Amino acid sequence: MRPDLPSLLRRITDDAFAENDWGAPADYIPELARIKPAQFGIAVAPATGDVMTAGDATTPFSVQSVTKVFTLAIALGRSGDQLWKRVGREPSGRAFNSIMQLEQEQGRPRNPFINAGAIVTTDQVLDQREPKEALAEIVRFVRAAAGNEDIHINDRVAASEAAHGHRNAALAHFLAAYGNLRNTPERTLGTYYHHCAIEMSARDLALAGRFLVDAPGLPRLISRTRIRRINALMMTCGHYDGSGDFAYRVGIPAKSGVGGGILAVVPGIASIAVWSPGLNRYGNSLRGTHALAQLSTAMEWSVF
């Protein structure tokens, strides 16, 4: 029999807090490096009924790469399949910030979730506009999805990343060298750092993720076909070179961020967000991944 969900979330949270190993927060973004690792929050927004939470589920955190799901939805909405001329749909098998493959493959990033691919997606969303217009569109989308007008960008985190973003600058310049950037590297990167610095709680992120659940009565921000396709990319590429292991352990589409958040989708059933800032060796939340494995196993939630 499936357990009662609120008590399961409490048990998963208690188990997380009983652990000693929390992993380490991202150290290449100084504003994130100083966040206390021993924090954990989880939220489940079911297709019908109220959101359920446990632990530090109302503490805002930096969603980082999780925003790549929202910018991908916006880029596809603006330019449809044109995007795929510039970025692929294959898992990279490499770290999220790897440079080598981009040169080997002549400036066409493997997928929209690795940094190089997300920089291209951001460039596509930016189009010919001012960065602040594109950012306003991204924030509007996230707020509409979550139903919370207070969600905002943390400018300090964006500035902190920009000041240390040598790898991303290298990726953007490689893209420009191969003719795969329409705006200057500086303009695209500025937009990219700012949308990565969107802050929200696990509760808000679970609510925002409902647009990918595809069930009657939920906010319909994109077509059903796009929902399925974005979920497919989350499943195959959402955890970088840890995507295979995540699919094996958790079995549902999900996207991680270096701020320690993970957004996961049980198609037709629920959106889940988990946050714990300490990371594993792939740059994905250590306790968050573990919690999702516990949750999906106990609830028998899997796309397989």
Interface contacts to ligand DON, rule CB under 6 A? 64-65, 96-97, 115, 161, 168, 196, 256-258, 283-284
Residue 258 appears among annotated catalytic residues: yes
Residue with Cβ nearer ligand DON (87 or 196) = 196
The annotation status of 154 as a binding-site residue, yes or no, is no
- CB 10 → ligand DON: shortest distance, Å? 27
Q: Give min distance, CB of 298 to ligand DON, in A.
A: 25
Tell me the CA distances in angstroms from 106 to 75, 125, 176, 188, 204, one per residue in order.
22, 22, 11, 19, 38
Q: Which residue number is nearest to ligand DON in terms of Cβ?
A: 65
For residue 178, what are its two tokens?
A: 């191969």
Does 90 show up as a binding residue in the annotation? no
Nearer to ligand DON, 38 or 169 (CB): 169
Q: Which amino acid is at 219?
A: P
Instruction: Tell me how far, at minimum, the Cβ of 276 lies from ligand DON, in Å.
Output: 13
Q: Is 157 one of the catalytic residues?
A: no
**Least spacing, CB of residue 96 vs ligand DON, in Å:** 4
Query: By C-beta, is 120 or 299 nearer to ligand DON?
Result: 120
Phi-psi region at 215: left, alpha or beta (left = phi > 0; alpha = psi -120 to 50)? beta
Annotated catalytic residue within 62, 63, 66, 68:
68
**Helix axis angle, 67-79 relative to 115-126, nearest 10°?**
50
Which amino acid type is present at position 48? T
Contacts of 176 (CB under 8 A, 6+ apart): 184, 185
Closer to ligand DON by CB, 25 or 257: give it: 257
Nearer to ligand DON, 98 or 168 (CB): 168
Q: Is position 192 annotated as part of the catalytic site? A: yes
- Tell whether 282 is in a known binding site: no
Q: What is the CA 93 to chain-centroid distance, rounded?
A: 17
Residue 168 labeled ligand binder: yes
The answer to whether residues 83 and 75 touch, using CB atoms and an 8 Å cutoff, is yes
**Contact criterion met (CB below 8 Å) for 120 and 181:** yes
**Which one is catalytic: 63, 87, 160, 240?**
240
240 classed as catalytic: yes
* Closest approach of ligand DON to the CB of residue 119, in Å: 8
> Annotated binding residue at 248?
no
65 is catalytic: yes
240 is in an annotated binding site: yes
Could you list the residues known to form a binding site for substrate, using ranges: 65, 115, 161, 168, 192, 240, 258
Could you list the residues known to form a binding site, using ranges: 65, 115, 161, 168, 192, 240, 258
Catalytic residue annotation: 65, 68, 192, 240, 258
